[in-house]
Structure 1
């Protein structure tokens, strides 16, 4: 069994180094797709990986691949990594921790075990967040040739810069023909949990068995705007009241359904949005997630039916737009078994759990045996400058990652 004696300070130094490459001064790290700091970070990583003797190449869209050929079965590739882009003023761990963890794990393996039998690869993916342009998973989708250029050819960022111009300015272009780097035998992504389950249950490692499916909705209610003082309660067609009834009943049902189902109502836009008018129209959003597609479908169908009943009873028109419908993604059972066995061998407290957030691994899993390793997040905070995990609590995750790669590649 591989034993890593990794100093937490090593992790902190590397995370401080990479998170310091930012479009903006702090707090937080801002590294948006195809920005100057994005390109600087990718090239800095390229140099870092080359110091390990790895061959480093970009694909057409800017994904970075660092490869070390295996001695016995070089055609079999064991890969790790994550995304290099961040949200605006994001934390120092989301995405880039998975890349740095892969670098540390492979560096330790090379020093202690020598060259692998199978090929090792670190992938620094171009984009996952959708934080500059309204498109997510541009990096991982291009690895497997499933990104549609029509979806990005006419989109712009908040400053009016087009996706295509930004991509060309950074030195990249669209994928032409078949992808060059999609022959991967296994993929493991290390990530912060972005929730507080591991912290609250005092577990050092999360072994992810599935990424939740997601359904997202925009719901529009149309009633009648009227005077707030002269319109008696029994004569109103108040869309905010209708929304409130829908939300209360739906949340109650979600709590009764229990974990791992989660239901969130977010954006709310009443019209006219003023103090002395009964709102005649209201738009609001709903997000529902679960690890089982059948449960997700059943629950949301019930909720949709309830919404229509409530609106009908109040004499209000309702339009339900289910604009996102992502299926749950299971992780690979064999890699999960390997990660669990590593946790047991290292006497780590761990929990098999699902991911409530989306990750590049959900794209990989449709094509490659894939698994994820979580490390705790303090207070569950992410996408925020306060996002943090003590380095001493990251080390066990890197130990697990390195040991799992060892079993797969050595």
Structure 2
């Protein structure tokens, strides 16, 4: 871990005097860690490059809408009620093949890494290029836009680059298994690329939700070579920068009347469990003053978690999303209760402090009632700071459009977190209606995606 300091968002806009739609002062506080790598030049200079291009947004929006609607057809989902596609299924294969055909038509070379992440380039492998993309797998009860709109928008950036003869070197990536629907592992493709997993994970620990067989077995059956998984790291070779576009999956942009969100940090998180051990008794025969009811500690902890997260501020949030009561009977006092903790935010010290305090609170609350509470951490991931130079270029491009935008952090995890291990990165958000995501009712406006494509193209063009 690197020491961190808090920096006002206005200060990180090099030599800019004002921020545009940056939100409240609390929202402007970002965690800034020292750089973990030396940034290379974002793009070499191309003498034939044209800095200003008149993009037909209506045309882009129509293409993006058509692409998304096409990819919601029966050939691309395993469900009649939702979008459901994940690694090594025929529907996922059809989705990759469709993107490959579109990219081939504009002169991109399309390949896949040894486990199935799709990579398309308009330059030979190893040459410098700027990365764009997202993921095209879905939640098991997903909508049309999560991930897929990001890859479609990246495709539109590539189309515009070709149509306007800009000559920008680009690489599009569609990461394998971002949602974890196939093997219960979020960000799996990008974690493999970042070498954040082990061979034992792929051979033994990561198993298919559908049939329990290993990732390794499924990958081999689909024609891939998981034994070469370490070579997946080469996907990022030559990348001089990376921008991922995604739907926001919240309602901040909608409620603040902004069309674009410029992400300057992705929240880190702590996932943990608390188990409170009480005493199971009869619900009617046991007087109130003779009970050891673990659900009371759950209730106290839930209220304290809200208080701690609010007090921590700086984008910190806390959620209890899973509750298991044993024996879970209407007429029985529980003998034990397990509840999960999801605590996250863009400032590591803030959200991790909440995790430490809530663990201590649960233990103390249980002890005061004659019970015992155990805290166990499942996983923790640090916040990921976006690259100031790329965010600045995106902000300049967004301002030039005259459309409303704001800087913000992402509360959700994204593949960009893994890319950032080696490459300067940024993200662009577009609104989704009422913040609904991971649901068939998910909705986003292709016109906003077209605006995002224009901004991303202009930002990449300016970074030379």
- What TM-score do you get using the length of structure 2 for normalisation? 0.84
How big is the shift at 1:259? 4.7
Kept in 1: contact 2:115–2:229 (CA 8 A) = no
Correspondence list, 1:8-407, <5 A: 8-20=61-73, 21-69=75-123, 75-116=127-168, 119-154=169-204, 155-174=207-226, 175-178=228-231, 179-183=233-237, 184-407=239-462
2:264, 2:453 → 1: CA distance?
A: 18
* 3-state SS of paired residue (1:285): strand
Structure 1 regions of 5+ residues with no counterpart? none
1:386–1:132 Cα change, 3 Å: same
Q: Within 2, Cα distance between the matches of 1:313 and 1:177?
A: 51
Deviation per CA, 1:341-388, whole angstroms, max 9, x where unpaired? 001111121110000000000111111000000000100000111111
Question: Is this contact kept in 2: 1:26–1:89, CA < 8 A?
Answer: no
TM-superposed deviation, 1:19: 2.7
Q: Is the 8 A contact 2:314 2:350 kept in 1?
A: no
Q: Shift in Å at residue 163 of structure 1?
A: 2.2
Residues 145-154 or 296-305, more deviating: 145-154
What is the alpha-carbon distance in structure 2 between the residues aligned to residue 182 and residue 334 of structure 1? 19
Aligned residue for 1:209, secondary structure, equals strand
3-state SS in 1 of match to 2:306: helix
Contact 1:35-1:166 within 8 A present in 2 as well: no
Q: Counterparts of 2:453 and 2:80 in 1: how far apart (Å)?
A: 27
1:4 to 55, 63, 69: 55
CA RMSD, aligned part only? 1.8
Following the alignment from structure 2 to structure 1, what is the Cα–Cα distance between the partners of residues 186 and 308?
Answer: 31
Instruction: State the 1:161 CA deviation.
Output: 4.0
1:332 to partner: Cα distance: 0.5
Q: In the alignment, is the contact (CA less than 8 A) between 1:33 and 1:127 conserved in 2?
A: yes
Take 2:353 and 2:230, find their aligned partners in 1: how far apart are those partners?
40
Shift of 1:142: 2.6
2:133–2:244 contact (8 Å) kept in structure 1: yes
Matched-pair contact (CA < 8 Å) for 2:295–2:334: yes
Counterpart Cα distance in 1 of 2:122 and 2:296:
61
- Structure 2: how far apart are the matches of 1:142 and 1:266? 27
Aligned-partner SS, 1:181: helix
TM-score, length basis structure 1: 0.94
Give the match's secondary structure for 2:76: coil
Deviation string 1:110-162 (CA, Å, 9 cap, x unpaired) is: 2113322xx21111112211112122222112323333221132323233343
Contact between 2:192 and 2:229, CA under 8 Å: does it hold in 1?
A: no
Which SS does the other structure have where 1:106 is aligned?
helix
